[in-house]
Structures are given as C-alpha cells and as structure tokens.
Amino acid sequence: MIERKIIHIDMDAFFASVEQRDNPELRGKPLAVGHAEERGVVAAASYEARRFGVRSAMSSQKAKRLCPHLIFVPGRMEVYSAVSRQIHEIFHEYTDIIEPLSLDEAFLDVTENKPGIPLAVDIAKEIKLKIRERLNLVASAGISYNKFLAKIASDYRKPDGLCTIHPNQALEFISRLPIENFWGVGPVTAKKMHSLGIHNGEHLRARTLETLIREFGKVGAIYYDFSRGIDLRPVETIQIRKSIGCEHTLERDINKRSSVIIELYHTAVELVGRLDRKDFRGNTLTLKIKFHDFSQITRSITQSKELLTLDVILPLAKQLLKEVEYENHPIRLIGLSVSNPREEGEEKGSVWEQLSFEFSDWDS
C-alpha cells in the first residue's frame, strides 16, 4: 500500500487576521469579530485577545470582562469567503485532491502532486510562504500519513506552525497527546474519558475495542483506531452538504412556554426557507437549546419521509421541545437543523457527523 502524504492547512485566527490585515489600526491589538451588545457572541478572536482568555463562541459580555479594552468589529463573511477562494487557488497549484473543512482549513492529499515535489513538508512550506506573500496572512500546517495525525500536527505549534508526524514517531506522539486534543473528543466526551482514567493516548490505547464500544458506542471503534495511529478515511474532494440549520440568540432569556413556542416557530420558518433556497432534503431534525448559563443540549428525531415543509417540521420540533426542561432553566438560544440526506445513510458517515457535531458545537 502506498503511504499517503496528507497536509492539513489551518489559517491562524482567520477572520480576525483578515480584519487586522485590512485595517492597520487594529494590528497588534486584542480584537473580536462579532457584536459587543449584551446578547452578542464572539465569532473569532485575535491572538492578542486570546492571551486574555477570549475565545470564539464566548459571550461578548464575558469577553469584555476578561479583556476590557477588547475591540469588536462586525464580521464580513463575503470578504472571508473571497479570501478563502484565493487560498484554495494556492492549494490547486499543488493538488486537486482538496477537502475543505471550513473557510479557513482544509486537507490536501499531495501523495502525487503537480510540481512533483517528493517531500510533503516542502509543499507545506511553499504553501505557507505563498499565503504570507500573496495574502499577508499566516497559516499553520500539519503533515502526516493520515488525516487524524495531520490535523493534530497543524494544531501542535500554532500560530505559524509547521509540524510533521512521521510513521515511526506516531505511536510515541499519540501516547503523550492529552485526550482533549484528540480529534472528535469534545468537552463531554473528555469528561467521561477522565472518569474512566483515560487522560492521554497511552491510556486510550490500553483499553480494548470492546470496552470503548461499550462506553462510547460506534465512535469507540474510531477512538480505538486513533490511539493506534490508524485513520483510513481518504481526502474527499466532493463535498456533500450534510445539514442545513439556523439558530437565534434571543434578546432575553425566556422560560415561558408560549414565548418559547413563538421563538421555535420563527426558527422553523427560517429553516424551511433555507431548505427551499438550498434545495436540501434530509430526514433528521435536530433541536439545539442553549440555556442562560451557556450549557446546552441537542435532541434529534429521524423520519422515513423528507423534512421539507413547516407543517412537518414544526410539530416534530415541538415534540423534541417536550424533552427539554426549561421552566427553571431559561433559554438563551434556539436552533434547528435538518440533516442525514438519504444518499448519505451509510453507517460510517453518520458516526463522523456525530463526532464533528460535538466539537464544532454549531459555532464554526
């Protein structure tokens, strides 16, 4: 079997860096992309702001408490999308096997590459240099023989990182890796791992496949493989949209049933409009609720029929809402999404969607 050469490119503080690039007065200052009002949320934070503990998905009020001189700027999604396209033009100079994960990160399979460069690390260096010279932005790159390790490597030396994990180093590297840094392990799973005495890759590798499946379900098999440096997923160039969703941060926390139903109705109406515009068809409806203390839950239901219209989606959303106790736990945010397109019904795909759902938290 040919050993793959995979690169993961991740732009450093992408939205905030674009704003600092385009406005010299913002350079070197703590910056948040988002809105500063009471119900605002930080969409992205510069590294200067991160030193104070400011993070994406944090409430604007908390961010300002942590960093009183934090500067807020509104997001410009059309600009970020245009810059992302420029970055991908650079990627295509080396390979057409590109799997975007978001506007600011992607996997590249450079096993066979257009310039014929033998070492993937040299390609990563060139890509980083071209992004800096042409776009005045900074990227981190991870290189390895599979996606899991390339992703881990790109996070290892941020910002402006470059890290290669060779096959003969992989097991030792994974052994030392904190369990929180494993791709697909979010806060909830990390807490459960800790309760089981699993704190790093070495601890995880010591558990049997049967134990991990019993504790974590089908995802346990993925954790089992990851702990051994195994990830057979290819870099996929065809991206199929897996879900359409929308969410509303409310002007005030609510716990009155009539108010919650009204907000749920408005969210469902917006969702139906998005489904129609994108011509998206799916069978699973997910309700997301974020409470006043920023804790959150999701509830899902899958139907045999496609979820397209308000008269189908709204009753299901109300059914899911019945599973949520909010009378003593006021609601701050309501979200709805439709996922699980029929052509993506394979079991493996659904497992990975669940993984990504946990750590992206709908906020990426």
Write the burial class of residue 118 (CB in 10 Å: 0-12 exposed, 13-18 middle, 19+ buried): exposed
Task: Tell me whether residue 105 is one of the annotated catalytic residues.
Answer: yes
Contact predicate 327/253, CB 8 Å? no
Structure-token pair, residue 23: 């406005």
Strand-strand pairing, 105-109 and 98-102: antiparallel
Token pair 């503080």 is found at 13
Write the burial class of residue 301 (CB in 10 Å: 0-12 exposed, 13-18 middle, 19+ buried): middle
Q: What angle do CA 133, 146, 239 make, to 5 degrees?
A: 75
List, as one string, the DSSP characters of 96-144: S-EEEEETTEEEEE-SS-TT--S-HHHHHHHHHHHHHHHH---EEEEEE
Other Cβ atoms closer than 10 A to 137: 20
Catalytic residue among 19, 48, 99, 105: 105
Write the burial class of residue 309 (CB in 10 Å: 0-12 exposed, 13-18 middle, 19+ buried): exposed
| DSSP-assigned beta bridge partners for residue 31 | 71
- Whether omega for the bond prior to residue 159 falls within 30 degrees of 0, making it cis, is yes
User: What is the distance of C-alpha 2 from the center of its chain?
Assistant: 29
Q: Catalytic amino acids?
A: 105
